[in-house]
Chain A
Amino acid sequence: AQKVTQAQTEISVVEKEDVTLDCVYETRDTTYYLFWYKQPPSGELVFLIRRNSFDEQNEISGRYSWNFQKSTSSFNFTITASQVVDSAVYFCALRPSSNTGKLIFGQGTTLQVKP
């Protein structure tokens, strides 16, 4: 089975708190890609990061960081010092190499950052 699970449906934090969004994936492919997208209230899906299965190096981009662990099939996303503008739905997605490139999305996590 190829599947992405985002167990957290909704998270609410107060501005400046750190928050981690969990993503667990399933695939039998040895080569695959993982993605995070942000969907703000405007509705457009915005690409945040891509990782391939051979690159377990964690990445930091400003207040955003990603922790990829193949041993636990997880690709978690942390926002440090959250801001109101971070309020959105965040999707984790898997693209196994065995398919034609379609993305398999998790159900999304709605993040609300309160001032």
Chain B
Amino acid sequence: GAGVSQSPSNKVTEKGKDVELRCDPISGHTALYWYRQSLGQGLEFLIYFQGNSAPDKSGLPSDRFSAERTGGSVSTLTIQRTQQEDSAVYLCASSLGLGFEGTQYFGPGTRLTVL
């Protein structure tokens, strides 16, 4: 079946602009995660959605970052007023749940470059 898909694959933007990154999880997966991978910080958790529960936003680095998940499926990560330090690869993952089924499968990522 289809894996996690993300769009766009690459995004170049100017400092101060807003960007939206999209994630389509694996069909049937109730949990969705966003991570960021950068050279200096490695792989960092950003935000987590599980069903209708309140999302875990504990990893968002600032209030310029937000995310939503519509209809329990597609998710959009929005970065407002982008800064150069936001340049990174943004990875989305999904899983069936939290228990033993909680293996996270990752998408190909969106490479964000802020000029």
Contact = CB atoms under 8 A, between A and B. Distances in A.
Nearest to A102: B45
Contacts, number: 56
Interface of A: 33, 35, 37, 42-47, 50, 52, 91, 95, 99-108
B103 interface: yes
Given A101-B98, A101-B102, A102-B33, A91 B109 contact: no
Q: Could you tell me the dominant secondary structure of chain B's interface residues?
A: strand
Range of interface residues on B (Cβ < 8 Å): 20 to 34
The residue among A33, A47, A99, A100 with the most chain B CB atoms within 10 A of its own CB is A100
Contacts of A52: 100
Contacts of A105: 42-43
Interface string B25-38: 00000010101000
